[in-house]
Amino acid sequence: MRKFLLFVVLILISSCNSNLSDKNSFLLTSDLPAGEFVKESGKKLINQPFGFTKIIADSTQFNDKIIIAVHGYKSEGYEWVSSLNNLAEEYSNTYFYRYDWDICPDIVGDNLAGSIVALIQSNSQFNKIVIFGHSYGGLVVTYLASELEMDIPIEIHTIAAPLIGHSQIIDKCDLKYNEDNILVYPSWKTNITHHQWRTQKHQDGAFRDLDYDPQDINFNNSEVILLPKTMNGQRLGHNWSITWVIDWYLNN
């Protein structure tokens, strides 16, 4: 009897912990106001636990597509607020992936792959995955591509991503380079499409002082799109590139 009661208590504790985890793994779009509150919303977003945070809009109907947004190095979160809200209004399965940016991108990509597999297994109705990786997150999702052993269509979009490598943030990592000191990524399956959304280097505050363009890499199976200089009459730089790409995606 005592063993049975102990078993019941353990189940209840596990259930409570699961509920607490679920409670901390989603945000309503109303929790993330933009405009004058965007910086506060960004802090709320980037302070979420590591892993997936689901962004939920009240009016969204269920659909079979998963949208995943992966932030960059030392992100403040605010650059994603408006775009995540807009994505959640359209897609009921919109997720923000939070990770430790002191971990090497190939390892983060492997961890993310495991999380995606678990997410897919939780709902067999998912039929497509679309992943956006900004800046350092672009390295993460490009390493991720080779880890996704799935048969459903997968789109990967890197945005303003220093894909050739950035010595200041990955020197500690044991990554593979070619003879030109450019990162070499494992190949991915044919059901995965890879798209590079590049900022114009001199317009990008993260890259303009470098003597090279860290976005300038070529894959045999990757589409390259150069972003315009401006958006709505203002300079289209490193962070605002997210807004441009997501707006394009939602309108095409």
State pLDDT tens for residues 128-142. Answer: 999 999 999 999 999
Does the residue 2 lie in any domain? Answer: no
Does the residue 41 lie in any domain? Answer: yes
The least confident of 11-20, 34-43, 164-173, 183-192 is: 11-20
First to last CA, the chain: 62
Q: Is residue 125 very low, low, confident or very high in pLDDT (cuts 50, 70, 90)? A: confident
Count Cβ neighbours within 10 Å for each residue of 61-82 and write b for 16 or more, e otherwise.
eeeebbbbbbbbbebebbbbbb
With 0-12 / 13-18 / 19 or more C-beta atoms within 10 angstroms meaning exposed / middle / buried, residue 220 is exposed
Does the residue 9 lie in any domain? Answer: no
pTM of the complete model: 0.89
Determine the Cα angle at 113 with ends 108 and 116, to 5°.
125
| Per-residue pLDDT tens digits for 194-220 | 999 999 999 999 999 999 999 999 998
Does the residue 3 lie in any domain? Answer: no
CATH for 99: 3.40.50.1820
What pLDDT was estimated at residue 200?
A: 97
Check: CB of residue 67 under 8 Å from CB of residue 91. yes
| Per-residue pLDDT tens digits for 214-249 | 999 999 889 999 999 999 888 999 999 999 999 999
Give residue 38's domain range.
25-164+175-250
Does the residue 19 lie in any domain? Answer: no
Instruction: Give which of 208, 195, 119 is closest to 157, Cα–Cα.
Output: 195
Does the residue 194 lie in any domain? Answer: yes
Q: How many domains does the chain have?
A: 1
Q: Is residue 1 very low, low, confident or very high in pLDDT (cuts 50, 70, 90)? A: very low
- Residue 249: enclosing H or E segment and its boundaries? helix 240-250
| Per-residue pLDDT tens digits for 31-76 | 999 999 999 999 999 999 999 999 999 876 778 899 999 999 999 9
Does the residue 13 lie in any domain? Answer: no
Does the residue 73 lie in any domain? Answer: yes
Residue 38 neighbours by CB distance under 10 Å: 18
Check: CB of residue 60 under 8 Å from CB of residue 87. no
Q: Could you tell me the CA-to-CA distances from 99 to 5, 14, 78 in Å, in that order?
A: 38, 24, 16
